[in-house]
Each structure stands twice: as C-alpha cells, then as structure tokens.
Amino acid sequence: MATMKFPFFDLTRQYQTLKEEVEPVILKIFEKQAFVMGDEVSFFERDVAKYIGVKHAITCSSGTDALVLALKALGIKPGDEVLTTPYSFFASTSAILLCEARPVFVDIKRDGYNLDPTKLEGALTKKTKGILPVHLFGQCADMEAILAFAKKHNLFVLEDAAQSIGAKYASKSAGSMGDMGAVSFYPTKNLGGAGEGGLVTTNDDVLAEKAKLLRVHGMKVRYTHDVLGWNSRHDATKAAYLRIKLKYLDGWVKQRALIAKRYSDEFSQLEKAGKLQLPRQLDGNHHVWNQFTILIENRDVVRKNLEEKGIPTDIYYPKTIPAQPVLKELGYGDIYSEAKYCADRALALPIFPELTESEQAQVIDALKKEKGSR
Ligand SMILES: Cc1ncc(COP(=O)(O)O)c(C=O)c1O
C-alpha cells in the first residue's frame, strides 16, 4: 500500500488545540477517583440537551446502545416491524434486530443519501410500529414527510442522528424532531469522544425515564430490578471531554462547510460533464458534513489511482445493509436499487476541520487529473 501524503482523518491536530484545557479537568477526575456518571455526566447532559434543543439528553455507552435503549423505551417487541434505510452504517439495522424486531427496508433518494418517504407506503404492514430514519453523513432525512406519514399511521419515529449532531432540518436539530433520537460520540464523529459513547434524546418525560432505567439494569431502587436493562452508563472523563469539545463544535462545522464548498466549487465542472455527482445541502437543511461523499463511476479504480498518488479516501458504504452476509438468511436480497447505486459508486474525500488548504488542494488536483480535466 502506498504511503499517504496526509491522513484521511486526524484527531491529533485538534487535540493540540484542546490539550491545555482538557488535561487539568481530566486530572481532577483522577484525583477524585469518581469515574462513572456523577456531576460531569449531568453537566454534559444538560449542555448537550440545550445544544440539540431537547428536554432530555441521556448519555450511554455508544450510539448503538442509544438506538437499542430508545427502541426498548418505545416498547418494541419481537416480531414488530420498523421501516428503515438500507444505506447506512450497520448499527441502524442491527439495533432493530437486537430487539428481535424486523427491519423493513425503504430505498433511499440518491440526492442526500437518505430514506425516500414516497416509498414508505409500499413497505407498511399491520406489524409496522415505527420508522428509524438515519441522518446520513451529516444531513437530515426528509423529516416533514416522514413525520407526517408516522402521524397518519400512528408510528413512532426514532432518528438515528449518530453522524449528525447539530444538523438542522427546517431550523430543528437532528434528534429533536421524532419521538426519540440517538447520537454517537465515536471518535470519528463531529463531536468525537475519548472512546465510545452515545446519547438518547427525547422531549417525552416517560420515554426519558424508561431509557434512564434501562441504562442501569432497570434499577430505580438499589438492587431492585423492575425491567430488564443492562449497563450502559457513561464515564465522567468522557463526559468532561465532550463538554469541553461541545463549545467548539459549531466552529469546527464551519471549517468542514468551507472544505465542502471548496470541493463543490472545484469539482462543479466535472459534475457538469457527468463525471461525478457531488453531495449537496438540500433546501431547508443545515448540513454538518461528517462526510463528503461523491458518486463516481469506476470507483474502485479511481480510489486505487488516488491511493497510488498518496491521496487517502474511504468508502461509506461498500455494501447495502440487506446485502450483508449476516442478513442472508432473512432473504432480503440486494434489491434496493438506489442504495445499491450509491454503494457501488460512493467515494468519501477527506474532510475534517484541521485539513489544511494545501492538503485540500492536493485532493482537488489529484481527482481533477484522474478524471482527465487537466
Ligand atoms: C448511522 C450510524 N448509526 C449508528 C452508529 C453506532 O454508533 P456507535 O459506533 O457509537 O455504536 C453509527 C456509528 O458509526 C452510525 O454511523
């Protein structure tokens, strides 16, 4: 494998700007030796609830756990069906399966990469209990249509905002529009933590109480277990770190948006010539650019050629979820044509706040040369 000229993603650059602020806070927690939950977690939950604009923000062990906690709080039962996207990270589907419910896939719109609400009707059955749309790559799904459909058919909506903290749809934040939301703090996310972490969001007091109970073994009174929960508590060090980072999140997103704009401007001729398709911010959306994913023919060859020039790229996602080996027995088949179209052509270009202008220029030059416009 060729050596890359710079990394696809690099957290060490950001950490250098935070170090002085972070280290005393973390040391203080070590002095106290109070590592699980406590004030740091409560303060972060308060701050992040305000940031997202929800009444309740409940931290937990991971974005995957946030989805499972939310589904269980929403009362999902074995055999229930949940409408979801075939084009996402696997966890949006595995969370449904972990609750012994059945994911029913609804194809996506190529523009925006998210679930196509016009296809919801065709997937509805008597067993349908809810919709789990994913706000992929940093942009919200078409929530107006999804929420209207859910209301008409009395379904819950659980937003998978794992990749999209701070994204907005009609001025409302990802994770604040449905019955519940789930966020991930995996380090590669826009608000990346010091390890694993997740968040359940809701405006509903009852659902919040249920999620909190499930997070601690279903235990309100010590050693009395009212429901079957598990341990999904959050750590004080992680919460303290996220709380510091939250203050800078909007500034980092601005940097991401500048890079996205530069790529979009520079590649617009290639798009006009039909050589690639650019991601775009759809009307009424505030995109937070967790990824900048283009669609391009001969993706694997392009990727290999860029790699040989030392330009890093990645693929989100090379397979649709229904085509995953683990789901083979469920017999879905790779029949979701828009999702498949994207899985075959998606190529993510480097985008993170500290990516330098010269590095951006190298990506731009290499891809222009590769597509023969220079
Ligand atoms: C769309 C989506 N959903 C859920 C998750 C799960 O989050 P975590 O990795 O924190 O469990 C991720 C993480 O990559 C994700 O991208």
* Residue whose CB lies within 8 A of the most ligand 1 atoms, among 90, 108, 113, 184, for a mutation test: 184
The phi-psi region of residue 372 (left if phi > 0; otherwise alpha if psi is between -120 and 50; otherwise beta) is left
Atom of ligand 1 nearest to the CA of 188: 14
Tokens, residue 152: 């008409």
Return the residue matching tokens 């109480």: 209
Which residues on adjacent β-strands are paired with residue 51? none
Question: How much is the pLDDT for 374?
Answer: 46
Distance CA 207, CA 97 (A): 20
Closest CA to 135 of 90, 105, 107, 169: 169
Contact partners, residue 135, CB within 8 Å, separation at least 6: 114, 141, 159, 160, 161, 163, 164, 167, 174
Distance 28 CA to ligand 1 centre (A): 30
Closest CA to 322 of 306, 301, 337, 304: 337
N-term to C-term CA, the chain: 26
* Residue whose CB lies within 8 A of the most ligand 1 atoms, among 69, 163, 183, 238, for a mutation test: 163
Q: Is 325 helix (H, G, I), strand (E, B) or coil?
A: helix
Question: How much is the pLDDT for 77?
Answer: 97
Q: Is 192 helix (H, G, I), strand (E, B) or coil?
A: coil
Distance 266 CA to ligand 1 centre (A): 31
Residue 3 and residue 311 in contact, taking contact as beta carbons nearer than 8 Å:
no
Residue 311 and residue 363 in contact, taking contact as beta carbons nearer than 8 Å:
yes
Distance 349 CA to ligand 1 centre (A): 19
Distance 224 CA to ligand 1 centre (A): 31
Distance 191 CA to ligand 1 centre (A): 13
Q: Is 318 helix (H, G, I), strand (E, B) or coil?
A: coil
Question: How much is the pLDDT for 245?
Answer: 98
Cα–Cα distance list, 369 to 15, 290, 349, 361, 362 (Å)? 34, 26, 15, 12, 11
Q: Is the preceding peptide bond at 113 cis, omega within 30 degrees of 0?
A: no
For the chain, list the domains and their CATH numbers: 12-246 (3.40.640.10), 249-370 (3.90.1150.10)
Residues at CB less than 6 angstroms from ligand 1: 62-64, 88-89, 91-92, 134, 160, 162-163, 184, 186, 196, 198
Atom of ligand 1 nearest to the CA of 134: 1
* Residue whose CB lies within 8 A of the most ligand 1 atoms, among 64, 87, 164, 165, for a mutation test: 64
Closest CA to 229 of 248, 211, 251: 211
Residue 124 and residue 106 in contact, taking contact as beta carbons nearer than 8 Å:
no
- Output the residue whose Cα is nearest ligand 1's atom 8: 63
Distance CA 171, CA 56 (A): 19
**Measured in whole angstroms, how far is the alpha carbon of residue 297 from the centre of its chain?**
25
Distance CA 315, CA 279 (A): 14
* DSSP secondary structure letter of residue 132: E
Question: How much is the pLDDT for 2?
Answer: 80
Distance CA 339, CA 250 (A): 30
Residue 106 and residue 123 in contact, taking contact as beta carbons nearer than 8 Å:
yes
Closest CA to 155 of 116, 124, 134: 124
- Output the residue whose Cα is nearest ligand 1's atom 14: 89
Distance 189 CA to ligand 1 centre (A): 9
Distance 232 CA to ligand 1 centre (A): 15
Distance CA 66, CA 202 (A): 11
Distance CA 236, CA 70 (A): 22
pLDDT along the chain (374 residues), means of 10: 91 97 98 96 98 98 98 98 98 98 98 98 98 98 98 98 98 98 98 98 98 97 96 98 98 98 97 97 97 97 97 98 96 94 98 98 96 62
Q: Is the pTM of this model over 0.85?
A: yes
A 10 A CB-CB count for 203 gives 17
Tokens, residue 63: 């974005």
